[in-house]
Amino acid sequence: MRGQICMIYLWEILLEAEKSGIDTNKITFVHGPLSSPYMELSLEYLNQENISGFNKVEVNTYYRFYKIFKELFQPELTDYEQLRSSLTNLILHMLMENDVRRGMTKEAYYKKLLAADIKAGCYGKDAEERYLLFKGEEREWLLSGLLKCYKSGSSLTLFVDMIHNMLNDSVTYHSQDLPDELLIYTGQRKNKNLEMKIRFLTDVFLDIRYHVEIFYEYHFGIIGLEDTMIIDEIAMY
C-alpha cells in the first residue's frame, strides 16, 4: 500500500496523472494568490495521495517561475482576466512537460515516443486498441518489454516474462513433445479484455512458429499432479 505523498511540484501532477490514467489536458492550472510560500501546488489536502476528481489545481506561480508570471498578476492589474488565466494554464502545462523531460532517462524518453507512435496508429489499429487496454504500471513494463524486443528480437523468455508480469499466478508450460507449442494457465475467468491482452503479447513477443493454447479458470490435467486432476475442475486438452 502506498504511503501518503505530499505533492509539491508541477511534474508530480503529470506523473500521478499518467499513473492513474488521467488526461492532463483536462486539468486546468490557475494562479493561486494565497498559496503557501513553501509549496508550488495548493491542493485541497496537504498529504493528498492522488488527483482523481480534481479538474482545477492552484499553483504558486512565484515559487519557481516569478520572472515568467510577475507581470501577469500585478495587484493593480484587473484587465484581460480571462486571457491571463488562459495564458497561465497554457504556460504551466508547458513548464510541467519540460520538468518531466529534463528528469527523464534515455529509456523513459524512448518509451514515451513509442507510446505516442502506438496511440497514433503507426503499428496498426489492432495494436492501438489492444495497447489501450493496458493501464498504469502495466503500460510501463509493456513498453520496457517492447524496447527489449526491438534490441534483441522476439524471444520465448521475454514472452514468458511479459505473461507473468501481467498475470502473477499464471503458469506457462513448454511442450516436450511439441517444441513449438506453449500452454498457458491464467488462473482467471475468461473475458474479452484479458483475451485481447494475451493476443497482443503473443503477436508482439513470440515468433510466428509458436502455437499457444490458453487455459483460463480451469487447469488441464497432468498425470502425477493430483491438484490438476480434480473432477469438474479440469480443462480439456
Residue 129, domain member (yes or no): yes
CA 187, 193, 196, 201 dihedral sign is: negative
Per the domain annotation, does 213 fall within a domain?
Answer: yes
For the full predicted model, state whether its pTM sits above 0.85.
Answer: no
Regarding whether 207 and 166 lie in a shared domain, the answer is yes
Domain region containing 80 = 10-103
**Regions of the chain where pLDDT drops below 50:** 1-5, 46-47, 223-226, 228-237
The tally of domains found in the chain comes to: 2
- Check whether residue 97 and residue 150 sit in a common domain: no
In a domain, 1, yes or no: no
Q: Alpha carbon 29 to chain centroid distance?
A: 23
Q: What is the model's pLDDT at position 234?
A: 45
Using N-to-C axis directions, what is the helix angle for 137-152 and 156-166, rounded to 10°? 180
With beta carbons less than 8 A apart as the criterion, state whether 57 and 43 touch: yes
According to the model, what pLDDT value does residue 29 have? 92
Residues with Cβ within 8 Å of residue 7, at least 6 apart in sequence: 13, 16, 41, 43, 48, 51
Say how many C-beta atoms besides its own lie within 10 A of residue 92's C-beta. 24
Residue 131 CA to residue 229 CA, distance in Å, equals 36
Please give the pLDDT value at position 235. Answer: 44
* Helix and strand counts by DSSP (H, E) for the chain: 8, 8
* Contact in structure between 99 and 9 (CB atoms under 8 Å): yes
Q: Determine the pLDDT at residue 222.
A: 53
Domain termination site, one of 43, 75, 103: 103
Q: Does the residue 3 lie in any domain? A: no
User: For cell 494475451, what's the residue?
Assistant: 198
- Decide if 93 is inside a domain: yes
User: Among 103, 136, 170, which residue terminates a domain?
Assistant: 103
Helix axis angle for 81-102 and 62-69, nearest 10°, is 120
One domain for residues 187 and 91: no
Summarised one tens digit per residue, pLDDT across range 184-217 is: 888 888 899 999 999 999 988 988 899 898 888 7
> Residue 174 and residue 181: Cα distance in Å, rounded?
6
The pLDDT value given to residue 132: 92
The grid coordinates listed for 108 are 523513459
Q: What is the pLDDT of residue 237?
A: 45
HSE of 39, CA atoms in CB hemisphere, 13 A: 18
